[in-house]
Structure 1
Amino acid sequence: MKKLNPIFFVLCCFSFLFLSCDKIEENSTYRISTPIYKSLGEVRKQEIKMESPVAFGRVGKIYSYKDYVLINELEKGIHFYDNSNPAKPTAIGFLPILGNVDMAVKDDVLYADSYIDLLVFDIKQIQQPKLLERDENRFSTYLNQRIDVSLNEQIRVPVDYKDTIVHESYLRTYNPWIKYETLYLDSNSSGSGQGGSLARFSIAKEHLYAIDIKDLFIYNVKEAAKPRFVKNMTLFNGIETLFPYKDKLFVGSTTGMVIFDIRTPEAPQQLSVYSHIRACDPVVVDDKYAYVTLRAGSFCGGSNVLEVIDIQDPRAPKLQTRYPMANPYGLAKVDSYLYVCDGVQGLKTFDARDVMKISDNLLERMELPMVYDLIPGPKSLLVVHQKGLSQYDYTNRAKLKLISEISIPKIR
């Protein structure tokens, strides 16, 4: 099957939590990939075992654990790489997990979603992951689609896609299970590892926190191979990302940032809500500030900006300043440096020692194709973009040095 344009999936699938069902009037020629379905019962019966390495297509979330890098291929599974030498990452294999979007690892145990289930794998033998447990019907949302969990194994889920060319003028409603690739538009059309800033799974204080469109799910993973579900907390529609920092959990949403106290990890206490205009919203923090990128778009709304929020009083966060951006996605704060994935404008490095002068202190811009998330790892800065994964030596935080690339093969 012909692969689709990864840019579109960044915009329409990567977050998976965008809420709007926008009606869009278009005069266009499209390649529409419509889903091929199976029942969830059929999917659950399929054996999951490591396969030989394969080239990946639609890159999704990334996760760094020990000397390994895990790369999600949206809805398909996880590619494992030995990254002990970041200059020469070596493919280990591909773990096919249908409906997979997010992951986290603790003590050689991998937690991964599969549609609305949570799967638990023993990865002590990294080349032979072993499925330990499937917690069924845990989540109620997949690709922004609410699932009737009462149907259980009769739920029909997309397992692949077939392409159809459509030529028409029409009014369409956004459907996250149908993938559109524009071919022609009229000229008038307008202990644990580490995830990136767009993560929906995160481990903190011996607990796994996971979110879907409106709920926060909590597992006790003190015994990593025997996760114990604690509870879920219904927050509000539009939650998108998780970022733990010390005894706090920061939840990014389409309408703001929520700060929780997790000193009692099984009973997070909401400290405050910082509201902003409707926009897609990853968050990273340091001791004094939260850095939030807001991204406009047909599904997000809002503006393209970087906001710096004073969180020294976590019960009363307040906007410190904001800066215009082109089309920002993920970001990371390392020492006094701020790295921002600014979409088609590439990866930007800022000196953030003075938060009131960040835009005046752009140190470097790496010209990458549609960059959208990164992880500051112990050996390299891992950056995900439209064409794959690039790693940089960032010993000198202000001057990145490319050391390796894992590229998506060109579509012929």
Structure 2
Amino acid sequence: MKKLIFILIAGLLSWSCTDNCRQTRTYKATVPFSIGQEQIRSGVAVEAPRELENPGKIYAYGNYLLIGETKKGIHIIDNSVPSSPKKLSFLKIPGVIDMAIKDNVLYVDSYTDLVAFDISNPLSAKEIGRKTNVFNYGLVDGVSWYYDPYSKIITDYEIKIVTETINTNCGENSTVWPVYRGGVYYESAKDLSTSNGATGANGTTGTGGSMARFTIFDKYLYAATQSDLLVFDISTAEKPDSVNKINLGWGIETIFPYKDKLFIGSNTGMYIFDNSNPAKPVRQSIFQHARACDPVVVEGDKAYVTLRQGWCGQSPNQLDIVNISSLTNPFLIKSYTMDNPHGLSVMASKLTLCEGNFGLKSYNVADPTDIKLQQHIKGINAFDVIQLDNNLLLMIGDDGFYQYDNSDPKNLKLLSKIEVKKK
């Protein structure tokens, strides 16, 4: 009997010890909020320049650079001197994620609407057209919003940093990913342990990154939603017109134009479309891969696809090089292991690849079966990149916007950086 009592007491003491263990943790949480369409449509304004806080996608147009402030607006920057970019204005646009430009007209999404702005004078951009209710949902950074047509209310979520103290089992690892430390988000334990802290047929268009969902060819704007390819006739900028909708299934992520073809990245494969009739793109094939986040860029007869573990899949982190000499029968040339690949850009066999918290890499891909690492810049966050020409590279990350002289891929030289406001 005494032995039984001793065992019970020992058990209670053990339980009490477990109950008394406490841990303080900081992580990202999504908090819902609602907003009405009228509030969104009346919220457009040209404001004074502001600091970068949550940079999204980038777009280059002539001497101008546009940096998205996710769901808040667009920073318009004079980049005529890349070593000294000058902020001109901030175009406030609720819900904006993507953008594309043709002939001084900026096209953006604003939650449910497609909106056109005259930016011939970046200091006084003017809304000139709006196509309402063309998008019913959206996704960025794994966070979705959706529109209820009956209430005309949009439900969205904002990411907030939450710090809380909880009871835990003694010795148990209760880390919640992604975790926030030192102003940086880490997606996994691996990230934390190794981290160092298109041209249109007619008219003038700009250049977007590999993460883009908008692109322009001829007089058509293409918008890739999570499930559809939407085609708009923008020959009259004031009245963008929906002319086609192609269902692609769920998981669509990016769109990349190359000559008269469209390459669409999804979390299960790369779609190839013949765009010789721009109003009616025709699917040629799909190159399938394991479920993963999947931007794509193209040069010549090769496509370069990054696969990344994250909210959209658990494929190995890798770069796939795909032979597209036959558009109806693409095949894998070789896969290369990466750390956490995001956006990428290729020009004249120079491939630049963003590795998230693992930095920026430069490769010589002249031989796709044996690519050569030229340089690895660590200690920065890299999300997407654009090689504008053989001398200028643009890169955006969580910690800022970078410009490099990339004339020597073995020695990228930093020209300038626009810092992100510290939180």
Alignment TM-score, normalising by the size of structure 1: 0.84
Deviations 1:84-140 (A, max 9, x none): 000100000111111111111111001111112111111111111111122221112
CA distance in structure 2 between the partners assigned to 1:368 and 1:59 by the alignment: 18
Q: Which has the higher contact order (CA 8 A, sep 6+)?
A: 1
| Alignment-derived partner of residue 254 in structure 1 | 267
Measured after TM superposition, the shift of residue 44 of structure 1 is: 3.1
Structure 1: 5+ residue stretches without partners: 1-26, 171-178
- Summarize the alignment of residues 316-395 of structure 1 with structure 2, pairs less than 5 Å apart: 316-358=329-371, 361-378=372-389, 380-395=392-407
Deviates more, 1:233-242 or 1:345-354: 345-354
- What is the alpha-carbon distance in structure 2 between the residues aligned to residue 333 and residue 161 of structure 1? 32
In the TM superposition, 1:103-122 aligns within 5 A as 103-122=99-118
Pick one of 292, 301, 315 that aligns with 1:288: 301
Tell me, what secondary structure is at the counterpart of 1:155?
strand
1:370 partner amino acid: N
Residue 266 of structure 1 aligns to a residue whose secondary structure is coil
Larger gyration radius, structure 1 or structure 2: 2
Output aligned runs, 1:8-407, within 5 Å.
29-30=25-26, 35=31, 37-143=33-139, 145=144, 147-151=146-150, 153-157=152-156, 164-168=162-166, 182=180, 191-358=204-371, 361-378=372-389, 380-407=392-419
Question: C-alpha deviations, 1:299-349, integer Å up to 9, x for none?
Answer: 421110110110000000001111101110111111021111122331111
Corresponding residue SS for 2:152: helix
List per-residue Cα deviations over 1:10-62 (Å, max 9, x = no partner): xxxxxxxxxxxxxxxxx872355554634323423524221011111111001
Pair 337,169 (structure 1): closer, same or farther in 2 beyond 3 Å: farther
How far did residue 409 of structure 1 move?
2.4
Post-superposition Cα deviations, 1:241-273, rounded to whole Å, max 9, x if no partner, equal 000000110000000000000000111100001
CA distance in 2, matches of 1:196, 1:169: 44
State the number of aligned residues: 371
Shift in alpha-carbon separation, 1:140–1:36, aligned structure 2, 3 A: closer
**Closer, same or farther in 2 for the Cα pair 1:31/1:329, shift >3 Å?**
closer
How far apart are residue 164 of structure 1 and its match? Answer: 4.9
What is the CA–CA distance in structure 1 between the aligned matches of 2:373 and 2:107, rounded to whole Å? 37
Q: Deviations over 1:260-302 (max 9, x none)?
A: 0000011110000110001110101111110001001354211
Cα offset, 1:206, TM superposition: 2.3
Structure 2: which 5+ residue stretches go unaligned?
1-22, 169-176, 183-187, 191-203
User: CA 1:137–1:152 in 2, change beyond 3 Å: closer, same or farther?
Assistant: farther
The aligned residue for residue 16 of structure 1 is none
Secondary structure in 2 matching 1:50: strand
Residue of structure 2 equivalent to 1:20: none
Code of the residue aligned with 1:212 in structure 2: it is T
The alignment's C-alpha RMSD in Å is: 2.4
Give the TM-score normalised by the residue count of structure 2: 0.82
